[in-house]
Structure 1
Amino acid sequence: MNTSTAPRGVRLIITLTGRRNAGKSALINALVNQDVAIVSGHPGTTTDPVGKHYELHPIGPVTFFDTAGLDDHGAVGQQRMAATRKVLRRTDIGILVVTEEGMQQEEKRLLNELTEMNLPVIVVFNKSDLTTPSQADLEACSGHSIVTVSATTGENIDELKRFIVATAPKELIEPPLLVSDLIEPSQTVVLVAPIDGAAPKGRLILPQVQVLRDVLDANALALTVKETELPAALSALAEPPALVVTDSQVIHEVAEIVPETVPLTTFSTLFARYKGDLPKLVDGAASIDDLKDGDTILMYESCSHHAVDDDIGRVKLPNWIKQYTGKDLTFELFAGHDLPDNLNQYSLAIMCGGCMSNRSEMMRRIRDLNAHNVPATNYGVAISKVQGVLDRVVQPLGI
C-alpha cells in the first residue's frame, strides 16, 4: 500500500516526545532518511505536532509525529504541550527521546503518563556519539524497551526500527478482519449503498469502498446496488448471496427484503469489529434500554463534515432513539480527534464508524468512556438496536 494514499485509519501512528532539544526532529529525519523536520539547536523549534508518512517494513504504512518539547514554558508553551498530549491519545507507539542529560524529572513524569495510557513505549537515549546512559537512567526505564542511538551519525537507527516493529501491538500489524473471513472465493456478496444527501458526489463513502476492496481481495464477487434495486438484484442471482452488507440507515427495510436464511450485516458493524471492540459496542447499545428522562447522550464524530437536513448523528439517530425509548433525552454532538472533558455528564456515548480513526484511537476512546462509567456504542450498532435487528446483524460475526 502506498504511504501517500493509505487511509489515515489504517496507519500505525508513532509519536516522538520528550524535552526540547532532545533531538526528536533529527531522529525523525534519520528514521525516514529524509530532511522532513526542521532541526535547530535553538530550543522549541518544533511548535506543533508534525506528521510524516513512511513505509516501515514489515509493518507497512506508518505516520511518525514530531512534537513540541514537554518542558515548554509560558501560556503558549502549555498550549503546545496540550497539543502533544492530544496526539499521544491517538498514538499506537510512543518514543520517549532522552537527551544527553539522562532521565530527569520531566522524562520520568512523561514515562509514567505514557504507561498509565497503556501505550507501548520505546525509550531512546539519543546522542550516543556524545554520551551513554547511566545505570540509574536504565533502571528508571525498567520494563520498557530501551535503545541507544545517534540521530547525527545514524548509529543504531536500524536497531530502533527493529524495536518499533517488535513493539507494535500485534492486532495493529496483523491484517485486520473486515469481511474476507466471512466469505469464500467465488461467492457473491451484495453491498447495499444508498445514495443520499450525505454521500460524496461521484464517490462511495470510505467504509463501502474498503469492504468492496476486501471482497475483491478475497476473490469473491461483489454486487453493489441501491436499496431500491435490492429486490431485483436478489431475484437475478442464480442462488442466494453468501452475505449482504448494507448501510445502517436502511437496515430496517433491507432486513425485510433479505430472507432470514441469508447472513446480513452492516458496514458500520464490520467497521466496529475492524477498528474497535464489537462486543463492548454491542453491550453499550444495550444500555439504550436503561435511558431515563433527562439523560444526555454524547454523539461523537471523529471528523467534521458538512451537515445535511437529515444528518444521521444530528437528526435521524436521535429521533429513532427517542421513538424507541419514549424518553425525553438531550443529544449533544461533539466532533474532533479527542473526547470532551466533561464525560461524567453523559449516560451514553454513540460514536461514528471511525473510518478516519485507527484501531488504537478507537480502543482508547472506548476505554476512556468506560473508565468514566459511560457506555459506548457506535452509530451503526445503535441503529440496528433501535430498529430491532441487532441480533441478526451481529450473528454473521459470531456474536
Structure 2
Amino acid sequence: MSGKAPRGVRLVIALAGRRNAGKSSLINALTGQDTAIVSDTPGTTTDPVAKHYELLPLGPVTFYDTAGLDDEGELGRLRIKATKKVLFRCDVAVVVLGEEGLTDHERGLLETIREMGVPCIVAWNKADLRPEAAPLPEIPGAPVLHVSAADGQGVDRLKERIIAAVPPEYRQERLILGDLINEGDQVICVVPIDLAAPKGRLILPQVQVLREILDCDAMGTVVKEREIEAALSGLRQKPALVVTDSQVVMSVAGDVPDDVPLTTFSTLFARYKGDLDSLVEGASAIDRLQDGDTVLIGEACSHHNVADDIGRVKIPRWMSQYTGRDLNFEVYSGHDFPEDLERFALVVHCGACMLNRTEMLRRITECARRGLPVTNYGVAISKLQGVLDRVLRPFGMEESKF
C-alpha cells in the first residue's frame, strides 16, 4: 500500500501557481479524493498539504498542494517561502494556470523551477470555462495542456505527462546493498540500541537494510556490538558483509577480520540517497579546517535532543578532537537549509533517510555551486575514527583517491 512506503523513498510532485488557480481542485481530481479544501476564496490553502497516492507504474508518490505564489503581506511571504521549500525537494513540478493564463507570476515561477533543474509541466486549469479554441501558450522546456478539475478533462493526460517527466533513474529501483550480496549470503547487522530511536523500534535505515537482505533471499543476523565476535564464530562460513552503526565502527572494525567486507548503514545511505563520491571527497575537508571555522550539521528530521546525540554532541566532539581546532557547530533540522552557505567551512549531513534522493542531491549540488564541501555522518565518523578506507572497500573505493 502507498501509505506504508517511507516518506524518504516517495517521489514528490508539487502543484504550484497563483491563488485561486484551482490547485486544490486539481490535486483532488488527480488523486480521486477530496484531500485539499476547495473554495472560491483566494488563499484558502495556507500551508503545503500532502497527499499520498499510488501513481502506477511509478508506485508511491506524494502530491503537494501549495499556497498561492501571489499571496500578500508578511504572512503571505512566509507561505510563499514554505511553497518554495516544497519545490526545492520535489521531483516534478506542475505549474497550474488560472483563467488569466500565463502572467508574470508564472513566468517568475517557471524561471525559478528551471534554475533548480526540476522537470516541469504546465496545466492550464478550468478548461470547461474557456472556449475550446483558446490557444495554449508556448513555454520552452515545459509541455502545456488544457485540464479541468471540475469535469476531469485532461486529468489522465496530465498523469501521463507527470510519469513521462520523471527522470529515468528515478523509475529504476535503487539498491541499498542488494548489489553487494547474493542469494544465500550471510549478512551481519551490528545495531547498538540508539537512545534516539523510539522504544521498541529500530531506526529506519536499519529496517530498510534488513528488508532488502530478505528481498535478496540472503540471511540477516542482528547483533549488538558486544556480540559480534560470538556471531562470527557461530557461522559456518564467512559473512558476505557486515553492516554496522557508525557510532561503533571503530570497535567493530577491530572485531571483524580484515578479509570480511565491512561498511556502515550511513555509508550505504550516502550512496542510496546521495552521491558517495562527492560525500567522500567532502570528508577530506576535515583535514583543512581552521580555528574559528563553522561546520553545519544537517539533520533531515527534527527530533528531541538526547544527552549523547550523534549529530549535536558526538560528531562535534570527535571532530574537535581529531582536528585539534577550535570549531563552531550549527544545526539545521528538517527541511530547513540555510541560504547563506558561504559562511560555513563544511557541511556534515545525516544519512537522509527522511529525505527523498532529489532533495539530498539538490543539497549536494547547491553546496558544490557555492564551493562548500559536504559529507555525511557515516563517512565523516569513519574518517574521524581512522577506518574510512575499510568501510569504502565493499564499493571498490579508497579514501586516498579523493
TM-score by length of 1: 0.97
> Which residue of 275, 278, 281 corresponds with 2:279?
281
1:146 to 144, 147, 150: 144
Q: Give deviations 1:202-230, integer Å, cap 9, x for gaps.
A: 11111000000000000000011001000
- More displaced 10-residue stretch of structure 1: 37-46 or 343-352: 37-46
2:100 corresponding residue in structure 1:
101
Q: For residue 351 of structure 1, what is the amino acid of its counterpart?
A: H
Matched with 1:299 is: 297
What's the CA shift for 1:291?
Answer: 0.8
* Alpha-carbon shift at residue 134 of structure 1 (Å): 5.7
Match for residue 385 of structure 1?
383
Which residue is 2:328 aligned to? 330
Report the CA distance between 1:144 and its aligned residue.
1.3
Q: 1:198 to 1:133 in 2, by over 3 A?
A: farther
> Is residue 2:206 matched to residue 1:208?
yes
Distance 1:387 1:74 in 2: 51
Task: Summarize the Cα distance change of 1:327–1:133 in structure 2 as closer, same or farther, 3 Å threshold.
Answer: farther
Q: CA deviation at 1:263?
A: 0.8
CA distance in 2, matches of 1:121, 1:398: 37
Amino acid at match of 2:151: T
The letter of the residue matching 1:43 is P
Equivalent pair of 1:177/1:273 in contact (CA under 8 Å): no
Deviation at 1:326, TM superposition (A): 1.4
Aligned residue number for residue 188 of structure 1? 186
Equivalent pairs counted in the alignment come to 396
Equivalent AA in structure 1 for residue 145 of structure 2: V
What's the CA shift for 1:88?
1.1
Residue 237 (structure 2) aligned to one of 239, 258, 261: 239
1:127-166 maps to which residues of 2 (within 5 A)? Answer: 127-131=126-130, 138-139=137-138, 141-166=139-164
Contact 1:192/1:246, CA 8 A, preserved across alignment: yes
- Give CA-to-partner distance per residue, 1:330-382, whole Å, 9 cap, x none: 11122120212321111001011111111011111111222222111111110
Aligned: 1:47 with 2:22: no
SS in structure 2 opposite 1:332? strand
Query: Following TM superposition, by how much is the alpha carbon of 1:196 offset from its aligned partner in structure 2, in angstroms?
Result: 3.5
- Counterpart CA distance in 1 for 2:277 and 2:330 is 25
Distance 1:75 1:214, change over 3 A: same
Residue type of the partner of 1:8? R
Comparing 365-374 with 115-124, which one deviates more in the overlay? 365-374
Alpha-carbon separation, structure 1, partners of 2:18 and 2:214: 47
Q: Distance in 2 between matches of 1:26 and 1:101?
A: 17
Quote the residue 2:168 is aligned against: 170
State the 1:392 CA deviation.
Answer: 1.6
CA distance in 2, matches of 1:34, 1:87: 21
CA deviations 1:84-143 (Å, max 9, x no partner) are 1111111111000011211111111110011011111011111222235865x532x122
Following the alignment from structure 2 to structure 1, what is the Cα–Cα distance between the partners of residues 332 and 241? 34
Which 5+ residue runs of structure 1 have no aligned equivalent?
none
Q: Is the 8 A contact 1:191 1:244 kept in 2?
A: yes
- Bigger drift between 272-281 and 125-134 goes to 125-134
What stretches of structure 1 move > 4 A for 4+ residues in a row? 132-135
Q: Does the 8 Å CA contact 1:125/1:133 hold for their aligned counterparts?
A: no
Give CA deviations for 1:292-344 in whole Å, capped at 9, x if unaligned.
11111111112111222211112111111112111111111221202123211
Distance 1:133 1:27 in 2: 22
Q: Does 1:19 align with 2:22?
A: no
Give TM-score, length-normalised by structure 2. 0.96
Point out the more displaced range, 385-394 or 125-134.
Answer: 125-134
- Cα offset for 1:172? 2.1
Q: Secondary structure at the match of 1:55?
A: strand
Counterpart for residue 217 of structure 2: 219
CA drift at 1:67: 0.8
**1:59 paired residue number:** 58
Equivalent position of 1:9 in the other structure: 8
Residue pair 1:23, 1:151 contacting (<8 A) in 2 also? yes
For 1:212 and 1:133, the matched residues in 2 are separated by 56
Contact 1:102 1:133 in 2 (8 A): no
CA distance in 2, matches of 1:336, 1:188: 35
Secondary structure of the corresponding residue to residue 128 of structure 2: coil
Structure 2 unaligned blocks of 5 or more = 398-402
Cα RMSD over matched residues? 1.3
- Mean alpha-carbon deviation: is it higher for 187-196 or for 167-176? 167-176
